[in-house]
Amino acid sequence: MNARYNPSELACALGLFPPTEEQSAVIAAPPGPLVVIAGAGAGKTETMAARVVWLIANGYAEPAQVLGLTFTRKAAGQLLRRVRSRLARLAGVGLGPVGDAVAEPEGAPVISTYHAFAGSLLRDYGLLLPVEPDTRLLSETELWQLAFDVVNGYRGELHTDKTPAAVTSMVLRLWGQLAEHLVDTGQLRDTHVELERLVHGLPAGPYQRERGPSQWLLRLLGTQTERAELVSLLDALDERMRAEKVMDFGMQMASAARLAAGFPQVGEDLRARYRVVLLDEYQDTGHAQRIALSALFGGGVDDGLALTAVGDPIQSIYGWRGPRRPTCPGSPPTFPAPTAHPRPPWNCGPAGAIRRGPCGSPTPYPPRRGGDRWPCTRCALARTPRPARSAAPCCPTWWPSASGSPTNSTPTTGGPGPTA
């Protein structure tokens, strides 16, 4: 199927600025999986909205066949408003569907958060697990109160000197990690036995005075043994939540992942319903989310599905949730796909490229260290010259000169806090 309109033509018809060459390559990519690595300021939201418009204007999909997923309700609302406004303009110039059809809920694109999407999956298909459709989602406070009640009511043996509140914190922290990595309590129950055998069988280190495990290894073993003792509390909490038909966000996402991976018909239904899928901030998806999305939309089973995963590993903010495999390029990809690297339109031109100066005269872009690898400028504020000197070999160092204009060199002495 040949495209009738290119991205620049659509932007002109909608009264928008034309996209850059890198953005146009993403917008007009043929249907299929696509990974977009875009840094801050590269126009990710605008590019995603323009891609939806391009696919609809060229007849690849209908507005109701568009699914967009992101992390926050604010980001979902911004993307939805931008897509709807573009589609309304598209209908106004006669290049898209009728505006009234797009305005109706059943004819509009679906843009939501990852957790809201997981909740809709469980409502529609949860009985396959089984999970009751009327299961209620707990807030953090409600989950804490429920877990604290389970800990206080526990009558089994527990070797610890911690208070019930501290034990509750440990239970909830471990509960969240198990859900995040799709690990059940049966897998956790005997892990300390193998670790204990390994720790006590290790030879002494070259500088170790005494034979036997070091204090660090003993503390590690104690922590793992303590976790194993929490298995009964975790099972009791799980039984209590199922009896009261409640779940937390971690349990919701883990259940959705098991549903998607265990029942292929769920993915078939969703791929028939949605022909355009946008995954925003994909670098921050956890293991359970990745398993769910891969089972539903990955695997290379539908080459005509316009799946676009957008993210930037350098901007990842959720690594503190626990060790996990990265979800952007650098590991075996969830969605085998070509990768695009759009640059910010206001900076980071390719080395040797020509730009227009304030008076219209051609001005070459300054060469960037490290070649053309990174899609945007990396900046950090250094409070003292020492960290600035450490960062200088990796990126240019800028600070005001005596004349007030910025200079680019490596600081060697103290002075005003430079930025690197």
Distance CA 370, CA 382 (A): 21
Strand extents, DSSP E, 182-317: 246-247, 276-279, 306-311
Residue with tokens 């323009």: 50
Question: Which residues make beta-bridge pairs with 246?
Answer: 136
Residues 6+ apart with CB under 8 A from 21: none
Candidates 318, 290, 323; CA nearest to 114 is: 290
**What are the DSSP calls for 145-190, one per residue?**
HHHHHHHHT--S-------HHHHHHHHHHHHHHHHHTT--HHHHHT
Other Cβ atoms within 10 Å of 205 Cβ, number:
8
Residues 353 and 49 sit within 8 Å (Cβ to Cβ):
no
Residues 179 and 250 sit within 8 Å (Cβ to Cβ):
yes
Other Cβ atoms within 10 Å of 395 Cβ, number:
17
Q: Is 90 helix (H, G, I), strand (E, B) or coil?
A: helix
Binding residues for ATP: 38-45
Other Cβ atoms within 10 Å of 177 Cβ, number:
16
CA atoms within 13 A on the CB side of 210: 4
The dihedral over CA atoms of 277, 280, 283, 284, expressed in degrees to the nearest 10, equals -110
Residues 6+ apart with CB under 8 A from 263: 125, 128
Residue 207 in tokens: 């500088």
Distance CA 163, CA 112 (A): 40
Q: How many residues does the chain have?
A: 420
Amino acid at 163: T
Distance CA 115, CA 252 (A): 8
Q: What are phi and psi of 307, to 5 degrees?
A: -100, 125
Binding residues: 38-45
End-to-end Cα distance, the chain: 48
| Element at 84 (helix H, strand E) | helix 73-92
Q: What are phi and psi of 171, to 5 degrees?
A: -60, -45
